Structure formats: structure tokens, C-alpha cells
Chain A
Amino acid sequence: EIVLTQSPGTLSLSPGERATLSCRASQSVSSSYLAWYQQKPGQAPRLLIYGASSRATGIPDRFSGSGSGTDFTLTISRLEPEDFAVYYCQQYGSSPMTFGQGTKVEIK
């Protein structure tokens, strides 16, 4: 099973700042089948990025994904108030599908 490790655990930033979230895999993620999700309290996860760098439908372009192999990054260029949430990476190239433990982006 591919283990995904996200860092940092918590990111304290102000609106307008840049957020950089990391996801490291224990082995190479095939075909960059790596996704990022945003989750707010009481809500289901929302797909932001798939294929490591493709934005899902309706996702603002301040969200971008990059990386390949074992190292992936989600960048939020300028944080909006609605971006403060928990973010998860997910690999879906190998069974079982696995998730990282999450990064909480909180208001500083």
C-alpha cells in the first residue's frame, strides 16, 4: 500500500498569503494519479486537482498542483477567506486507494 505523508500538519497564514502544501508518497504514484481535496467542517470532500496538476471543474485558478513520482505540491496563490479548510491528497493509481492525513490551513 502506498503511504502518503502530508506536511505541514497545520499551516497558519493570513488572507492574501501564499500556501504551499506537500504530499510525499512511500513509492512512486503511477501515471501521476494524485488528487487534492478540500474539506470544510460538516461537508464532504471537494475535488480540487486530479492527475497531479489538472484543476477540476469550477476550481479557481489560484489553486494549482505540481509534482510527479513521489513528491507533490498543492499551491494556493492568494488565500481567500473561504480557503481556510483541511486539504487531503489522494493516490488512485494503485489499489488500495490511499489518502494523506491532511493539512489544516488556518487563519493566522
Chain B
Amino acid sequence: QVQLVQSGAEVKKPGASVKVSCKASGYTFTSYYMHWVRQAPGQGLEWMGIINPSGGSTSYAQKFQGRVTMTRDTSTSTVYMELSSLRSEDTAVYYCARESTVGATPYWGQGTLVTVSS
């Protein structure tokens, strides 16, 4: 069965960077795009960007351009999301979410809480 297992919670200081991983299993890693979505405490869902695990191409939400980098390692079936220049407003749960053949995202990781605090 499809599983997306994310790395553990992180606490970072303002100005630092964080790198969250999402290890996929149960399917052919390079066959489906992966999205990153975040959710601030008590808030809604916010799309950050997408990566094609096959070729590594990416597309980012304009809000995060210049601060976010999504990469993948096909040898370990893992995608990564790195966010730099962290500020308190980046405190959120970060999710990876895999597309399906119909384009929606039925598979989600368990989420990674990133706390930005001095």
C-alpha cells in the first residue's frame, strides 16, 4: 500500500533553514508528482509547490519563490522540501501529498511540525 513517511518535528530559530523529508513506498516513485502543503496552527491548507520525481522539475507557489527548494533522491524514494530564511509565520505542519492518476491528492504524509521561535 502507498505510504508516505515524513521526518520528525523541528524547532528552528528565525533566519535558519529547515529540510523536511518524505519517504515514499508501495508504488513506483517516479510515476507520480508530489506536492508540499502546509497548515499553520488553526488555519487552512496552503499549497507550496510540486516536484516531478522522475526528472526533478519543480514549480513553486509565488509566495515561496526564492525561499523554497524541492528535491528528490530516486535511490531512496525520498522527496525533500527545504525552506530558508524562516520566520515565526512559517510555524506550521508541513505535508507531502502524492497525486493520483486523476490529479487529486489521495495520499498524504503524517505531517511534520516545524516551529520557528527565538
In the complex, the number of residue pairs spanning A and B with C-beta atoms less than 8 Å apart equals 56
B16 within 8 A of A: no
List of B residues within 8 angstroms of A72 by Cβ: none
List of B residues within 8 angstroms of A33 by Cβ: 103-104
Highest count of chain B CB atoms <10 Å: which of A45, A57, A88: A45
CB-defined interface of A68-108 with B at 8 Å, one 1/0 digit per residue?
A: 00000000000000000000101011011111111000000
From A44, A92, A100, give the contact of B44 (CB < 8 A).
Answer: A100
The reply to whether B108 and A99 contact each other, CB–CB distance below 8 Å, is no
B110 within 8 A of A: yes
Number of interface residues of B (CB under 8 A): 22
- Tell me whether chain A's interface is mostly helix, strand or loop, or mixed: loop
Highest count of chain B CB atoms <10 Å: which of A90, A92, A96, A100: A96
CB-defined interface of B28-41 with A at 8 Å, one 1/0 digit per residue?
A: 00000001010000
Which residues of chain A (38-57) have a CB below 8 Å from chain B?
A: 44-47, 50-51, 54, 56-57
Q: Which residues in B have some Cβ–Cβ distance to A below 8 Å?
A: 35, 37, 44-47, 50, 59, 61-62, 95, 97, 100, 102-106, 108-111
14 A-B residue pairs with Cβ-Cβ distance under 8 Å, sorted by A, are: A33-B103, A33-B104, A35-B104, A37-B45, A45-B45, A50-B102, A50-B104, A54-B102, A56-B104, A90-B45, A97-B47, A98-B47, A99-B37, A102-B44
